Amino acid sequence: MRVPPSLAYGERGEPTRGIPGSATLIVSAELVDIAPAASDNFLIRRKKAGTGPVIRNGQAGHFHYTGVLAEGDDAGLQFDSSRMPDRPKFVTKVGPMGSVIEGWKKGLQGMRVGEIRWLKIPPELGYGSQDQGLIPPNSTLIFEVELMGIEPGAAGAVGGGVPRRASGSPRGIEIK
């Protein structure tokens, strides 16, 4: 894009950077994040930029995540984490075909390997009115998600999921 002098450094320029007075700047920019509309309760915040490739819809990624409750008496309660000892790596497809909650389907798109995001997921994009063990009905959830890598091979060859109710699980949750 072109930036005229009146919107850049003006008549003085920026001599310490080698920009002469009245210079028109040509700027190249890459869109790396889109903030949701303020009226949307779903939020994505980048905690750390990634440096690896971008995961595309249909590709399976290896993720680390930690989920906590956002509101109520149990706000801040961790209900699950892939970083707990003896947990298998968590792999899921990105995009609408993924077998995860809707907030993850939206929140994982466009991540770079190494990127860490915080996702604030309202109930309608999470578990809604369903009781999920440690996750009460109508809960807003906060996830910290890190894309560790992209699975090689055919796009979407590996499935996965986020915490789901499991009657035999000691914590009441399992990965499907």
**Which one-letter DSSP state was computed for residue 87?**
P
Given the residues 101, 121, 142, 173, select the one marked as catalytic: 101
Q: Tokens in use for 66?
A: 């930690």
Given the residues 80, 90, 142, 173, select the one marked as catalytic: 80
Given the residues 9, 42, 90, 127, select the one marked as catalytic: 127
Is 90 a known active-site residue?
no
Is 80 a known active-site residue?
yes
Given the residues 9, 65, 121, 135, select the one marked as catalytic: 65
Given the residues 42, 143, 150, 173, select the one marked as catalytic: 143
Is 19 a known active-site residue?
no
Is 9 a known active-site residue?
no
* DSSP E strands, the chain: 2-3, 25-26, 43-48, 60-69, 78-81, 90-93, 116-121, 141-150, 163-165, 173-175
Q: Tokens in use for 31?
A: 């869109």
Give the number of other CB atoms < 10 A from CB of residue 130.
14
Residue with tokens 């996750």: 135
Q: Tokens in use for 160?
A: 């996965």
Given the residues 79, 121, 150, 173, select the one marked as catalytic: 79
Interacting residues of 87 by C-beta distance below 8 A, sequence separation 6+: 81
Catalytic amino acids? 65, 79-80, 101, 127, 143
